[in-house]
A and B are shown apart, each in its own frame.
Chain A
Amino acid sequence: MSVIQLENVVKTFGAVKAVNELSFHVKRGEITGFLGANGAGKTTTMKMLLGFIKPDSGRVLINEKDPAVAVTRKQIGYMPEIAYYYPYLKAYELLRFYGGLCGMTKKEIAVRSKMLITKVGLTGAENRELKTFSKGMLQRIGIAQALLHNPDVYILDEPFTGLDPLARIQFRDLLLEEKKAGKTILFSSHELSEAELICDNVVILKEGKAVWSGTTAEVAGDGTQNLERVFLKMLAADANEGEAI
């Protein structure tokens, strides 16, 4: 069953076609990498997946429901591209706030946030105001808030940027763990090697269009290719040629 569905989605900003006739599906329990150059339309697509903006035409469904309806988002964990949270809150207060918004009980919030703060490696910093956090620390608290309410679907916008190598490995393991638990994950990234390591599927976006999509097994192909080559080829070549691979 497809957890995330996009069908012929179009979104234009003035003269810019940010997303152009984009269609793809993500099945339950899969990790999908969402790749593309800067300005390809990744963030825009994700915003539509959360109902921040409405597509000009086409359909966006999460669990076969409209994400613009609040209840649908109960199943979505989202991490924005630029991690910026209320600077005057302490880390655990931020999680308490988001937990409250998700309708979690005090006890649930306490248990989950304690667990997540350890998992993202912020132990000892939970009582500090966020304005004292470094970029990577903010990114980590961003991961924690996305996982907080234990949703089914994760939509993560460039979750790896700003993380140090160790955190990157920890986070990679975390995602794989979540996948094992049956969670569906869509993340955008510029880190091709990272994507190759953990993704089941890859969607490559160019000027709002999906120019390539397939499994990582297909990427590996005859063993002479890797994701980097495919990516470069796709972005350099015309979309038509791309389909030949």
Chain B
Amino acid sequence: MSIVICQINALIKVSLLELYRRKDIAVVLILGAVLLLPLSFVSPFGLSGAGTYFNEIALVMVWLFSIFIALGVSSRVFPYEFEKRTIYPLLAKPVGRGVVIAGRYLGALTAAVSALCLFYAAYVLLCGFKQGIWFSEALLQAFILHIGLLAVVVAIGMMGSLIMTTSANVTISILVVFAMLLFGASLSALAATQNLVAKTVLNIANAIAPHIEFFDMRQRLVHEWPAVSWLVCAAVMGYAAVYSTVCLFIADFFLKRRRF
């Protein structure tokens, strides 16, 4: 048992090193700052006091960047290992393929979450200065649910990378994530209005596609709605845990089947 923890620990450290050595985060943070700074000085009609628009745009950026980082990190881990043949010395070590999946997953997730912490810190700073609101229960919940979101997105990216080519995987993952974000909540309502075939397809999609919209607390944050019940949060995090575990089992199946 302790050797597995030791192995996973090693894999996590390497993933973090990779993310920061590649300077992706630095680039994204600079990008965000350059986009947001001019926006923060907007004062419509010379009137001050508007902050909601800024809050919303900043949060949209946090969402976009964190999803891109999560997919970028998770979708290239295994293709990179195969392409550069680093998988050989890795698998020659006394480490099971299941542990490699788990370690690589946790590594990618840790990397994505560490980036997320930076993004949220920047978000809180910017919006705190702009709107004077530094903390709310809803903010904490949004952050926690965002971690759940990344858990799902990283698992999807990793699973896809073992089934498809990288470009197909990234395209499909992005499509699924954003489609579910926009339409996930209305799938079942949409299904009710369709004919039998379309209804079945939509209902299946509703059942198996990742419900990204569960993790989306942006509306509550931006428009200062009260926090949701922590029970609901727990349910959503449970969903994230189950969903990513299933994805990882599928990934594990494909990695075990793979011959080098």
A and B touch in the complex (CB under 8 A): yes
Tell me if B93 and A84 are in contact (CB < 8 A): no
* Bound-state Cα–Cα, A51 to B90, Å: 12
What residues of chain B lie closer than 8 Å to A84, measured between beta carbons?
Answer: 84-86
- List residues 1-27 of chain B with CB under 8 A from any CB of chain A: 2-3, 6-7, 9-11, 13-14, 17-18, 21-22
When A and B form their complex, what is the total count of cross-chain residue pairs whose Cβ atoms lie within 8 Å?
Answer: 87
Tell me if B95 and A93 are in contact (CB < 8 A): no
Tell me if A52 and B91 are in contact (CB < 8 A): yes
- Whether a CB of chain B sits under 8 angstroms from the CB of A209 is no
The 0/1 profile, CB within 8 Å of B marked 1, for residues 61-78 of chain A is 000000000111110101
Q: Which residue of A lies closest to B3 (CB)?
A: A103
| Chain B binding surface, main DSSP class | helix
Across the interface, B92 reaches (CB within 8 A) one of A78, A82, A89, namely A78
Q: Which residue of B lies closest to A75 (CB)?
A: B94
Across the interface, B10 reaches (CB within 8 A) one of A71, A88, A101, namely A101
- Whether a CB of chain B sits under 8 angstroms from the CB of A168 is no
* Bound-state Cα–Cα, A47 to B89, Å: 11
- Whether a CB of chain A sits under 8 angstroms from the CB of B88 is yes
- Whether a CB of chain B sits under 8 angstroms from the CB of A133 is no
Q: Which residue of A lies closest to B97 (CB)?
A: A70
What residues of chain B lie closer than 8 Å to A52, measured between beta carbons?
Answer: 88, 91-92, 259-260
Tell me if B17 and A101 are in contact (CB < 8 A): no
* Bound-state Cα–Cα, A93 to B93, Å: 16
Tell me if B260 and A47 are in contact (CB < 8 A): yes
What residues of chain B lie closer than 8 Å to A50, measured between beta carbons?
Answer: 88, 91-92
Across the interface, A80 reaches (CB within 8 A) one of B3, B18, B22, B88, namely B88
Q: Which of A51, A87, A101 has the most CB of B within 10 A?
A: A101
- Chain A residues touching B, range: 35 or more
Tell me if A89 and B88 are in contact (CB < 8 A): no
Tell me if B85 and A82 are in contact (CB < 8 A): yes
Contacts A73-B94, A101-B95 given; does A78 touch B88 at CB 8 Å: yes
What residues of chain B lie closer than 8 Å to A86, measured between beta carbons?
Answer: 14, 18, 84, 86
* Bound-state Cα–Cα, A88 to B14, Å: 9
Contacts A53-B260, A93-B17 given; does A102 touch B89 at CB 8 Å: no
Across the interface, A102 reaches (CB within 8 A) one of B17, B85, B93, B260, namely B93
Tell me if A71 and B94 are in contact (CB < 8 A): yes
- Whether a CB of chain A sits under 8 angstroms from the CB of B96 is yes
- Chain B residues touching A, range: 20 to 34
What residues of chain B lie closer than 8 Å to A79, measured between beta carbons?
Answer: 89
How many Å from the CB of B20 to the closest CB on chain A?
9
* Bound-state Cα–Cα, A79 to B93, Å: 11
What residues of chain A lie closer than 8 Å to B89, measured between beta carbons?
Answer: 78-80, 85, 98, 142, 145
Tell me if B7 and A101 are in contact (CB < 8 A): yes
* Bound-state Cα–Cα, A245 to B9, Å: 54
How many Å from the CB of B152 to the closest CB on chain A?
27
* Bound-state Cα–Cα, A140 to B90, Å: 17
How many Å from the CB of A52 to the closest CB on chain B?
4
- Whether a CB of chain A sits under 8 angstroms from the CB of B99 is yes
What residues of chain B lie closer than 8 Å to A102, measured between beta carbons?
Answer: 93-94
Tell me if A88 and B92 are in contact (CB < 8 A): no
- List residues 219-260 of chain B with CB under 8 A from any CB of chain A: 259-260
Across the interface, A97 reaches (CB within 8 A) one of B14, B85, B94, namely B14
What residues of chain B lie closer than 8 Å to A104, measured between beta carbons?
Answer: 6
- Whether a CB of chain B sits under 8 angstroms from the CB of A206 is no
- Whether a CB of chain B sits under 8 angstroms from the CB of A39 is no
What residues of chain A lie closer than 8 Å to B92, measured between beta carbons?
Answer: 50, 52, 73, 76, 78, 80
What residues of chain A lie closer than 8 Å to B90, measured between beta carbons?
Answer: 101
Q: Which of B9, B14, B93 has the most CB of A within 10 A?
A: B93
* Bound-state Cα–Cα, A89 to B3, Å: 22
What residues of chain B lie closer than 8 Å to A74, measured between beta carbons?
Answer: 94
Q: Which residue of A lies closest to B19 (CB)?
A: A88
List 13 A-B pairs, Cβ < 8 Å: A52-B91, A73-B94, A73-B95, A84-B84, A87-B84, A88-B17, A89-B17, A97-B14, A100-B9, A100-B13, A103-B2, A103-B6, A103-B94
Chain B positions near chain A (C-beta within 8 angstroms): 2-3, 6-7, 9-11, 13-14, 17-18, 21-22, 84-86, 88-96, 99, 259-260
Known A52-B88, A52-B260, A100-B9; further 9 A-B contacts with Cβ < 8 A: A52-B259, A80-B89, A82-B85, A88-B17, A88-B18, A89-B17, A98-B89, A101-B94, A101-B95
| Nearest 6 interchain pairs by C-beta | A100-B10, A78-B92, A103-B3, A74-B94, A101-B93, A88-B21
